[in-house]
Amino acid sequence: MLLPAHRGRRIRGKELFRRMVRETALSVNDLIYPMFSAFGTGIKKEVTSMPGIYQQSIEHIVAEAKEVQGLGIPAVILFGIPETKDAVGSDAYAEHGIIQETIRAIKREVPALAVITDVCLCEYTDHGHCGIIRDGDVDNDATVELLAQEALSHAQAGADMVAPSDMMDGRVGAIRDILDNNGFAHIPVMSYAVKYASGYYGPFREAAESTPQFGDRRSYQMDPANRLEALREAQADIEEGADIIMVKPGLPYLDILRDLRNEFALPLAVYNVSGEYSMIKAAAANDWIDEERVVMETMLGFKRAGADLIITYHAKDVARWLTR
């Protein structure tokens, strides 16, 4: 009888061997935790579709930021829910806007935590689009000017990094330019370089109260069918000065993550978005899956596909599971 020369099971037979030949590792240093800051005081409201995730006023955000830092997670990414919204998203670039005040509070109380800010207008416009509207569509160049103002105001409030998520053309260059010209040449830009028009953002829009009031985001976010376009988008952002590039959503776009890893030498981030979180939480709540096992497998999948950084609502749980 011919015996197999290759027996893959030999090296899988003992946990010690499995540890020795393991190719991918996940670390707490890879994690970024998203938080939703709401105007007011005494607010801590759980997002219905995202168990464990809250809209919170600043004092609660600060308390959670301390917890996050204590778990060894290096950074948070902030989203704001302003007191009032208008057609041009004024609160987004106001000196005392919701995010600007949140940044100041976190940097004052938890200086050892890196504060990254999401730069976009959809949380601040009354129509819910990511820019200002002209003739029924988002006006690219006028929006880019406001996004640059927004990024600058975040840096002035003390943000450590800015992350434009709007998908306007030329915004990374405009943000780089305004930061450089105002004494913030050292502030990195993490670009949502490859962001698809996705149904997986549904729960986030409840959390950030940013659902478009008409139409959808397909004239600026990418078509889920496209792969080469992702390379063009990433290339453009890198040429404009992006320091970190991101793919979003995560799980349905692991091929894109791998494409970018193979093509570019920049640090690569992935956004494990709200809908991906909600699906795992819902299945786990029904005891249909083992939450810890599935979450850790998902995180490892991102790393194996090429991600350096993972923005995830699971970050606190992952940090705890990693140190157990």
273 near ligand PBG, rule: CB under 6 A? yes
Q: Which residues have CB under 8 Å from 72's CB, separation 6+?
A: 28, 29, 319, 323
Least Å from the CB of residue 59 to Zn ion: 26
Helix (H, G, I), strand (E, B) or coil at 315: helix
- In 3D space, the residue among 233, 78, 93 whose CA is nearest the CA of residue 171 turns out to be 233
Least Å from the CB of residue 308 to Zn ion: 24
Confirm whether 248 is a catalytic residue.
yes
Interacting partner of 91 out of Zn ion, ligand PBG, none (Cβ under 5 to 8 A depending on kind): none
118 near ligand PBG, rule: CB under 6 A? yes
Residue tagged active-site, from 14, 44, 107, 195: 195
Q: Are 77 and 35 in contact (CB under 8 A)?
A: yes
Size, binding site for ligand PBG by CB under 6 A: 11
122 near Zn ion, rule: CB under 5 A? yes
190 near ligand PBG, rule: CB under 6 A? no
32 near Zn ion, rule: CB under 5 A? no
204 near ligand PBG, rule: CB under 6 A? yes
- For ligand PBG, the binding residues in 42-101 under the rule CB under 6 A are none
Residue tagged active-site, from 85, 248, 281, 303: 248
Q: Which residues have CB under 8 Å from 141's CB, separation 6+?
A: 170
Confirm whether 195 is a catalytic residue.
yes
- Residue 215 buriedness (CB in 10 A; 0-12 / 13-18 / 19+): middle
Q: Residue 269: in which H helix or E strand, if any?
A: strand 268-272
DSSP per-residue letters across 87-144: TT-GGGG-TT-HHHHHHHHHHHH-TTSEEEEEE-STTTBTT--SS-EETTEE-HHHHH
274 near ligand PBG, rule: CB under 6 A? yes
Q: Which residues have CB under 8 Å from 273's CB, separation 6+?
A: 198, 200, 201, 204, 248, 249, 250
**List 53, 130, 148, 247, residue binding ligand PBG (CB under 6 A):** 130
Interacting partner of 159 out of ligand PBG, Zn ion, none (Cβ under 5 to 8 A depending on kind): none
Least Å from the CB of residue 212 to ligand PBG: 8
Burial 259-292, CB ≥16 within 10 A → b, else e: bbbeebebebbbbbbbbbbbebbeebeeeebebe
Interacting partner of 64 out of ligand PBG, Zn ion, none (Cβ under 5 to 8 A depending on kind): none
88 near Zn ion, rule: CB under 5 A? no
Least Å from the CB of residue 215 to ligand PBG: 13
- As annotated, the active-site residues are 195, 248
The residue ranges that bind Zn ion (CB under 5 A) are 120, 122, 130
Give the residues lining the site for ligand PBG (CB under 6 A): 118, 120, 122, 130, 165-166, 201, 204-205, 273-274
